[in-house]
Amino acid sequence: MSKRVYSAPGDTIESVHPVTVHRYRGLTRLNHWVTAGALIVLLLSGLALFHPALFFLTGLFGGGQTTRWLHPIVGVVLFLSFFLLFLQMWRLNLPRREDVQWAMQTKDVILGHEEKLPELGKYNAGQKTVFWAMTGLILVLIVSGVMIWQEYFPHLVSIPVRRLAVLAHALAAVLIILVFILHVYAAIWTRGTIRAMTRGTVTGGWAWRHHRKWLRELAGRRDAGPAE
């Protein structure tokens, strides 16, 4: 049986006085922010097209015609950018036994009783839920989006199917907005998390408190010396 891996390429302990841990490579961070930027543009432009009361938001993009053209193009950018993130992160987001226990101790998570929680790899159950929710919803959005993209695919599906695709697209959009808000809130609420996606590093104390199995693996790799 292969050994479980809790870290990604590039994850290292950079220094020990004080302990600083490299959590994300520059490419991964750039990829993340392109995805986040595309999602924000889609959120605003999508709301502008969703209801007349929000049409004023098209002013952010140069008017209604530009917004209508831009929205699906940025949707493709989101899909491709997130796909690259998916390739980098999917293995570490697979469910583990400790995730079930972590999820059952939500009260301890909220109260900050980290000492009562199980040791975790690079991601906890909440982060994994956001990851897989994003994966599923982006797939629904891209598939339904292509089905209603009449400029390039006017005869791809019948009108009744297109109407269902519009409904699916709208529902998935609402859900992904909620997941995005949850993701941002969790990043702000857990102090030290945003640093990981801006500087690429976290403190040793942060890693020990929130992702101890991940830190242990990095420490073991460091003690073992460079691989042959």
The residues carrying an active-site annotation are: 183
- Cβ neighbors of 71 (< 8 A, separation 6 or more) are 42, 45, 46, 49
Q: Which residue in this structure is represented by tokens 């699916």?
A: 168
> What tens-digit pLDDT sequence spans the chain (228 residues)?
345 677 888 888 888 788 899 999 999 999 999 999 999 999 999 999 999 999 999 999 999 999 999 999 999 999 999 999 999 999 999 999 999 999 998 888 887 788 788 999 999 999 999 999 999 999 999 999 999 998 889 899 999 999 999 999 999 999 999 999 999 999 998 888 999 999 999 999 999 999 999 999 998 876 655 443
Q: Strand pairing of 19-22 and 12-16?
A: antiparallel
Cβ atoms of 175 and 140 closer than 8 Å: no
What's the pTM? 0.90
Residue 224 tokens, joined = 């073992």
Domains of the chain: 12-224 (1.20.950.20)
Q: What is the chain's length?
A: 228
